[in-house]
Amino acid sequence: MLQSFLENPTNPDFTPIFSFVFASLGIMPLSVASIAVPTASRDPGSLPWAPFVGLSLFGGYFAAGPYLSFRTVDEDVTKSSTSWVGRNVFDNKLFNVGLLLLALYYPLSASGLASSLDQLPQAWESFVEVAKGSQFVSTSSMDFVIFNCMIALLVAQDAKVRGDEPTKANLIGLSTLLLPVWGGALYCALRPSLKE
């Protein structure tokens, strides 16, 4: 499986569901960055977000995990107190709407899954068979699941910082699990901006 990707990265011979999972792993780190970076603490003792979030584009959750596990959140963050990148990139509506459009388009088009929805049961069976025999597929699939769970937790945390009551924030976070890949990007596109 990995050899197929290395030989032809633009069109590897993946099953449609794994192609969707693999393509999504390029989108989810951007959702994580859009959620986590604007509220990241800028205290001198806190971990810097850039190396972990940057490496997660290539290493998935395994690269982002240490940062996300030990990050501190600035509960009183404002638009002016967040970093320049947090304010002008990751909390920017234009960037987040673009991220949502990319999340809606890229995984479905790259996988061919949209054109083969009538064959979903067969696609699932072939994915399961490939996952049984490939550590690459199994690891990438677990990365996909962990990223989606982490996005749900980050969304709940972010919604609280932006002023939602805890119960509502937790429900918003849980709702992102209903739309893997798209839930986090949708939240980023619809959430209110940080307070001034």
For residue 83, give the 3-state DSSP assignment. Answer: coil
pLDDT digits (tens, 9 = 90+) for 82-130: 889 989 999 999 999 999 999 998 877 777 776 667 788 888 898 899 8
The DSSP symbol for 86 reads: I
Q: DSSP letters along 149-184, please?
A: HHHHHHHHHHHHHTT--HHHHHHHHHHGGGSTTHHH
Average pLDDT of the chain is 87
- Asked whether the beta carbons of 30 and 60 are under 8 A apart, the reply is no
For residue 40, give the 3-state DSSP assignment. Answer: strand
pLDDT digits (tens, 9 = 90+) for 120-174: 888 889 889 989 988 989 999 999 999 999 999 999 999 999 999 999 999 999 9
**Closest by CA position to 91, among listed 35, 163, 160:** 35
The whole-angstrom separation of Cα 91 and Cα 5 is 33
What pTM does this model have?
0.86
Beta-carbon contacts of 87 under 8 Å, excluding residues fewer than 6 positions away, are 38, 79, 80, 194
Query: Residue 18's pLDDT band (boundaries 50, 70, 90)?
Result: confident
Paired strand residues for 73? 40
Beta-carbon contacts of 77 under 8 Å, excluding residues fewer than 6 positions away, are 38, 39, 161, 194
Q: DSSP letters along 108-136, please?
A: HHHHTTGGGGGGHHHHHHHHHHHHHH-HH
